[in-house]
Amino acid sequence: MKITRFFSTAAILLFLVSCSSIRVTSDYDKDVDFNQYKTFAFFKEGIDQVKLNDLDKKRILNAIDQELTAKGFVKTDQNPDFLINIFTKAQEQVNITNNNFFYSPWGYGWGWHPYWGPSRTMVTTSTEGMLYIDILDTQKKSLVWQGVGTGYLSNSSKTEQKEKKIQEFVQKILAKFPVEK
């Protein structure tokens, strides 16, 4: 009975982890014609202030570069049409689950039974991360588009998994850019 409960709980947790969805929102200046943008660069001063290790920062910038290049934009250091800035936030979530199990020869139900089972409290933590991608018009010197991706981050030490998760975040956020009117 305990083995069956363990495997069913493990299967549910595996399913929830594999279905880790990323929620995306975006906002933009409705007066901007996004068809005018052809070239981009990264806003170094802003990116340098992001509180993130250099390896993950590089992974995010590479993923953004790949996505924008795939959409036909050209990266340049000479008079870009728009600049990319990023910033991140992370919040620790604590989840407490209390399961009271009891067994009865007459089936499950409310009330007192002579066959009480164990009470188990489980405490788990997870990190919810947010990645903001800002598009800044270099002529107007203003924010014209912002995309935000929110999702749960794994504490995996595997480089491939980190890169895959970062790529997924960036891809889903930039799916809404450029805005087509």
Cα dihedral sign for 100, 106, 109, 113?
A: negative
Instruction: State the CATH number of the domain containing residue 130.
Output: 3.30.160.670
**SS3 track for 145-179:** EEEEEEEEECCCCCHHHHHHHHHHHHHHHHCCCCC
For residue 98, the enclosing domain spans 22-174
In a domain, 1, yes or no: no
In a domain, 2, yes or no: no
User: Which of 12-16, 127-131, 157-161, 175-179 shows the lowest per-residue confidence on average (mean pLDDT)?
Assistant: 12-16
Who has greater pLDDT, 94 or 164? 164
In a domain, 146, yes or no: yes
Closest CA relative to residue 178, chosen from 32, 74, 24: 32
pLDDT at 111: 53
Residue 155 pLDDT grade (very low, low, confident, very high; cuts 50, 70, 90): low
What pTM was estimated for this model as a whole?
0.72
Please determine, for residue 130, whether its predicted confidence score (pLDDT) is greater than 50: yes
What is the number of structural domains in the chain?
1
